Amino acid sequence: MTEAIAFLPPRQAVLSRRAEILDDLKELVPAGRLVEERNALVPFETDGFIAYRRRPLAVVLPETTAQVAAVMKYCHRYGIPVVPRGAGTSLSGGAIPQEDAVVLGLSAMTRIIEVDYANRCATVQAGVTNLAISDAVGADGYFYAPDPSSQLACTIGGNIAMNSGGAHCLKYGVTTNNLLGVKMVLVDGTVVDLGGKHLDAEGYDLLGLVCGSEGQLGIVTEATVRLLAKPEGARPVLFGFDSAEDAGSCVADVIGAGIIPVAIEFMDKPAIEICEAFAKAGYPLDVEALLIVEVEGSEAEMDAMLAAIVEIAKRHGVKIVRESQSANEAALIWKGRKSAFGATGRIADYICMDGTVPLSQLAYVLRKTSEIIDRYGLRVANVFHAGDGNMHPLILYNINDPEDAAKAEAAGMEILKLCVDAGGCLTGEHGVGIEKRDLMLHQFTQVDLDQQMAVRSAFDADWILNPSKVFPLEGRG
């Protein structure tokens, strides 16, 4: 396809020293932890944003913080770009390398270091998967709240880089609200600890700054995360509507009334059909839009909250209200939703937008999105976290048809601008990566971006950490 998004030109001084650099890196990580063969590098060429790919100089897969520090110290000394990588599930291209970069993969750092129930937290290495944390504490009645759809694969390190969310973040908050501390390697190899098991901390909130900084301020090697007690019970309920706008207005009114269920997920008709075909979840096929609302707590609590939501839904002409009747049915409902991206991938290539809007704008933005998609002659499936206004239009296209791909990308950019213009922002949980980099100036002024870049330079003066990402290439320092 045509590449609308540019990468920084590779540093020739680095490319020309490749053999020497590989020899040096071999000394810094255990045997087998340096990937250098061209074919072995292919899996690291791209991530969940598959439209772009670059082969990296090399990949290192360290096992300890000390090894990460040694690699950083070396790369910093010689001005070699470093692209950190968790499981490579980024939807915005946050882990796509460049030709002069060493990919620093954290996937070998999978140790759960400590589970501390007294302080309700767990300390894990950065390569531990999101779900593995909940699995480690589930039998004791606890869980780790943020739940990206990719939670089976994605790592906590990647979650921190992107400040990842998930369906249940409506109630529990995103990664930054559930992160207590990190161990991080600075660009020059220095190791720092930010945060800890205690509430808050003195000094600037560098932990909050690091969370969501897309691997540009340092390499997180360990994380201390909050554990929550599992709720007494949970019940997903399906609400079917005759129009996407009715569903959107209903969500705005539920939240506006101060009711916070644990999740409110939205699917439009194309998404319902795609997910139902894949998961056999029992979604109704005769509605235009579906909300999956999950309530939790005691039976009495769930009943009371549901009654209030049904009341509001009726005012928006809800057509179907269907409670899951068993744990199995509930699991299927969530399986359908969480496999939406995978199920979509079976029928077409897609790019997933991540714009977030104030809830009062939900219905308007849905209507306008549909107009944009029609104008480009494309198809879209909408499946997203409605409760917090985090939209995910999946724009369907054919990756092997350059014209189709260019249209999909252009439509996506229009949709993101629409979100910003409606008082929202470019990304709720997927990050900027390379995907939304050049739209940053649509949201921010140059003054805003200069300030962000000044902060970046305070951590990484030479901009070797994930350099092609987040900030538009033009207008950089």
Residues 217-256 interacting with a second copy (rule: CB under 8 A):
217, 228-230, 252, 255-256
Print the binding letters for residues 423-442 with a second copy: x by CB under 8 A, - otherwise. Answer: xxxxxxx-xx---x---x--
468 belongs to the binding site for a second copy (CB under 8 A): no
Cα separation, 425 vs 231, whole angstroms? 32
137 belongs to the binding site for a second copy (CB under 8 A): no
402 near 293, Cβ under 8 Å? no
176 belongs to the binding site for a second copy (CB under 8 A): yes
345 belongs to the binding site for a second copy (CB under 8 A): no
Shortest distance, position 198 Cβ to a second copy, whole Å: 4
Helices of type H across 280-439? 299-315, 327-338, 340-347, 362-376, 402-421
CB nearer to a second copy: pick between 4 and 455: 455
213 belongs to the binding site for a second copy (CB under 8 A): yes
398 belongs to the binding site for a second copy (CB under 8 A): no
CB nearer to a second copy: pick between 228 and 399: 228
Q: Which of 202, 307, 400, 474 binds a second copy (CB under 8 A)?
A: 202
369 belongs to the binding site for a second copy (CB under 8 A): no
Site for a second copy in 20-79 (CB under 8 A): none
Helices of type H across 211-298? 244-256, 269-279
360 belongs to the binding site for a second copy (CB under 8 A): yes
Cα separation, 385 vs 423, whole angstroms? 17
Shortest distance, position 305 Cβ to a second copy, whole Å: 10
Q: Which two tokens stand for residue 244?
A: 């996407």
- Burial tier of 63 (Cβ tally within 10 Å: 0-12, 13-18, 19+): middle
Site for a second copy in 299-328 (CB under 8 A): 300-301, 304
Shortest distance, position 32 Cβ to a second copy, whole Å: 32
Shortest distance, position 20 Cβ to a second copy, whole Å: 30
Cα separation, 216 vs 218, whole angstroms? 6
Cα–Cα nearest to 183, from 129, 126, 128, 105: 126
Site for a second copy in 112-131 (CB under 8 A): 116-120
CB nearer to a second copy: pick between 179 and 396: 179
Length of the chain in terms of residues written: 477
Q: Which two tokens stand for residue 445?
A: 């002024």
CB nearer to a second copy: pick between 279 and 416: 416
Binding residues for a second copy, rule CB under 8 A, total 83
Based on its alpha-carbon atoms, the radius of gyration of the chain, rounded to whole angstroms, reads: 22
Q: Which of 58, 160, 179, 211 binds a second copy (CB under 8 A)?
A: 211
Cα separation, 355 vs 313, whole angstroms? 25
Q: How many CB atoms lie within 10 A of CB 329?
A: 14
CB nearer to a second copy: pick between 340 and 419: 419
Q: Which of 16, 325, 398, 457 binds a second copy (CB under 8 A)?
A: 457
Give the CA distances from residue 155 to residues 47, 160, 207, 239, 431, in Å, rounded to whole numbers and listed in that order: 13, 9, 18, 32, 15
- Burial tier of 61 (Cβ tally within 10 Å: 0-12, 13-18, 19+): buried
Shortest distance, position 53 Cβ to a second copy, whole Å: 23
Q: Which of 136, 357, 386, 395 binds a second copy (CB under 8 A)?
A: 357
